[in-house]
């Protein structure tokens, strides 16, 4: 009887361990968010909601995601009609909960000539804490975060459109859900 119980416990442990190692899929996604900035002065502060479920691959795996790794964040100035020698003196990209609470900085910008960057995709130097926060927010229901972009320029007006891209790798279970 003891041998049967021992064998049963051993078999149960093996089954339990193997069930935790479900096959996973690794999926590349790119989440995009656009900002339209049109201010007469020299400062701006814009916020928008990023919804990861707008990406078809993300939406397909959202309830099965084990991890999200954002390995690259870029910006592209897609249109610019401010003064040709306008400099973004200080800028901050931040992330907060879907309701706008608990913001944390993701990246900072200093001394960018905005007209020189027009149409060029540029990588951002990001903070690991900011990316970790964004990854955590996008991994859990409602799969959303508020992205804010604020700053000041050397002269007004500030008139530009910026596209942000978050290049990500998802690891998700193929069967079951988390």
Pick the CATH number of 24-173 from 3.30.310, 2.60.120, 1.10.287, 3.30.2450: 2.60.120
Of 88-92, 139-143, 170-174, least confident by mean pLDDT is 170-174
Residues 6+ apart with CB under 8 A from 62: 52, 53, 141, 143
Q: Is the pLDDT at 102 greater than 70, yes or no?
A: yes
Q: What is the mean pLDDT of residues 132-140?
A: 94
Sheet holding 24-39, edge to edge: 24-39, 158-173, 65-80, 122-123
The predicted structure's pLDDT at residue 4: 56
Which of 17-21, 42-46, 54-58 has the largest mean confidence?
42-46
Q: Which of 87, 101, 65, 79 is nearest to 155 (CA)?
A: 87
Tokens of 126: 């990001």
Tokens of 65: 């995601």
- Per residue in 45-77, pLDDT (tens digit) is 999 999 999 988 888 888 888 899 999 999 999
Domain residue spans of the chain: 24-173
CB 85 within 8 A of CB 113: yes
pTM greater than the 0.75 cutoff: yes
């Amino acid at each position: 009887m003891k041998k049967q119980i021992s064998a049963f416990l051993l078999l149960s442990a093996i089954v339990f361990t193997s069930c935790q190692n479900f096959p996973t899929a690794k999926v590349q996604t790119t989440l995009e968010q656009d900002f339209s900035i049109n201010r007469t002065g020299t400062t701006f502060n814009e916020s928008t909601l990023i919804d990861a479920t707008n990406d078809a691959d993300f939406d397909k795996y959202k309830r099965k995601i084990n991890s999200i790794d954002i390995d690259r964040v870029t910006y592209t100035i897609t249109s610019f009609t401010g003064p040709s020698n306008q400099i973004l003196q200080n800028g901050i990209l931040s992330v907060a909960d879907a309701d706008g609470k608990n913001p944390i900085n993701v990246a900072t910008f200093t001394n960018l000539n905005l007209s020189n960057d027009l149409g060029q995709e540029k990588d951002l130097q990001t903070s690991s804490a900011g990316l970790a926060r964004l990854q955590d927010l996008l991994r859990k229901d409602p799969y959303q975060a508020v992205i804010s972009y604020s700053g000041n320029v050397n002269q007004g007006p500030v008139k530009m459109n910026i596209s942000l891209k978050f290049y990500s790798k998802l690891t998700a279970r193929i069967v079951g859900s988390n």
